[in-house]
Structure 1
Amino acid sequence: MGSVRWAFPCGAWRPCRQEWLLAARLVQPEEKDRIGQFVFARDAKAALAGRLLIRKLIAEKLCIPWNEIHLQRTSKGKPFLANNEFSIYSNYNFNVSHQGDYAVLAAEPELQVGIDIMKTNLPGSSSIPNFFRIMKRQFTETEWGVIKSMSNEWMQLDMFHRHWALKESFLKAIGVGVGFNLQRIEFNVSPLQLEIGKVYKETKMLLDGDKEEEWTFEVCCMEPNEPQFTLLTFEDLVASGIPVTPEDSAYWDNFCSKQETPVKQNSHSRYECL
């Protein structure tokens, strides 16, 4: 078993009734209920895709039948395989992220792994300088120096999201929650400019001022035509699926009642994936 990097374009997914009801049958009841509570269809699709990615991984890489997979969450919300009889896979680590147009998964057989994906969007009704003032405490002075050294506001926002995704990916890897002081972590990003189609591993991290040599950070820009991940179709996503719940036609009605997204945001199709 080697490294796994998968992506599913959940933003472009327009499920028909058959697809949505099948997908809902392939996740645990509590997850199905949680996903059904999302206000917007975009978020429900992304969350459901994330769960399907995890179950596909476990079924195909660990050879555990889909309907025997039991997932739980840690107290901080990180999913893990809870089947006691499969404790031999206790070192197998996986993580998912979804934002913008993609749900992504990373998995490693022997290493802790965390992943975060960010789409560079303008910050709602706030200006970029005001947004940075609000977020000032999330980064160190050195990190802010790098962010604000970019030649225009859009590139500064892009660099902001790159730093944010790095911090999120580390926190997800170690399984801690929102109470962690983000200023304890400082990233020295390299290179400053990312070329589409390449994966970079030069970025280094300081934790409480000390350089952490045991962590590797993979950084890439995801573009629709040049995915650095294996891009999956819906058919790929459910290929090994075995239903775990009965069909619930009301679940389709619930989905159809949702607005796709909130008020449309200005955006740019650039993703930082770590």
Structure 2
Amino acid sequence: MTKKLLIAISVITSITTFSQKKENTYPKAEFTLENGSKMSALFVAYTYPNGSYPSFFDKDDIYSFEYKTAPEAKTEKIGAKEVKAMKIYDENGDFVNGIERLDLKAINSNGELVDKRKRSFQPLLYDGKIQIFGSNMFMCQGNLKAACTYVYSMFYIRNSKDDFAIMPVDYDRINLFNFGSAEEKMIGAFRIVGKNCENFNQYLSFLEKKLEDKEFRKKFKEEYKKVRTDSFEEAKSTGKKGNFQNILGENMLRYYLNFYSGIVKEYEKNCSN
């Protein structure tokens, strides 16, 4: 059976689960449209790209949103290009979660900032002077109902004053021949969103050397293994061994978020812009 890469956006997964708590009920949604206006509706589902490597990575990760104007109304669609953000609310009108459309840029092999050919809808994981968005990617066989394997966690950083986001580690451009440049590009991405803050640049230079240290790399690998082991034990202890990959994804997302937010906090501590 052909394996297909499927974007698994954590917030959308929770939205779908939330909408299925009661049969024939849909969560309240607020769409922020391209022209800045708001549209209230009931969220039904979303459509996503389905393809194989490498063409898959050239596509936006959501094509359209499905919604209803009333529970018994027919399902309608709105293209993802017309939507800037979506928020989900519970039956009491309290905010549950949401996603935002990110215009993406990347650092090429020459260290230059260039436009990517796609956009991504992502949940906001850390809100500060530098914002962090992110989700997990899984590799699945067949369709979404089949067993999926956690692949990696994707993160996007954006200066709150900018209108674009950058992937610290751009998995779209990594292969066996350029994997070593990933750390250099990550540092470069933070320099860009750091807006030439001298104190932050000094910290990034220190961090870059630290990432090259053998002892640090060894510690990083040990921590990575521990996250996997702890995730398996968590799945085992809760009687959800079949849910190991989802638990692993959640824990890895949390682990990397802690790493990236630590860098952001250095910026917030030392920079005013």
Going by fraction, where is strand more abundant, 1 or 2?
2
Both structures adopt the same fold (TM-score exceeding 0.5) = no
TM-score normalised over the length of structure 1:
0.27
TM-score normalised over the length of structure 2:
0.28
